[in-house]
Amino acid sequence: MQRIACSERDDWRETAEACGFDFHTIDGERYWDERAYYAFSLDEIEQKIEAPTGEIDAMCLELVGRAIRNEDYLKRLKISAGLELRR
């Protein structure tokens, strides 16, 4: 992995907010930071990123499946009972 410095957009705050990302700054500190990006080799992606990402995705889908079948999960996740779920 390589960290590459770059110039940020002049309107990065407005751009983030326009996308609904209004917590780009927390307690005066940047959460969103465009002053650098990361470059990965194909090998890093294939060997170190894809499998763990697939595992996380599967875990999320399993949780969603549990949540829609069990109201206790919805409560723990703070999902409103009035929310209409589409299957």
User: pLDDT by residue for the chain (87 residues), tens digit each?
Assistant: 999 999 999 999 999 999 999 899 999 999 999 999 999 999 999 999 999 999 999 999 999 999 888 888 888 888 876 656 565
pLDDT value at residue 70 = 87
pLDDT value at residue 84 = 61
* CA 78 to each of CA 23, 24, 82: distance values in angstroms, whole numbers, following the listed order: 20, 23, 11
pLDDT value at residue 79 = 81
The rounded distance, in Å, linking the Cα atoms of 5 and 38 is 9
pLDDT value at residue 82 = 64
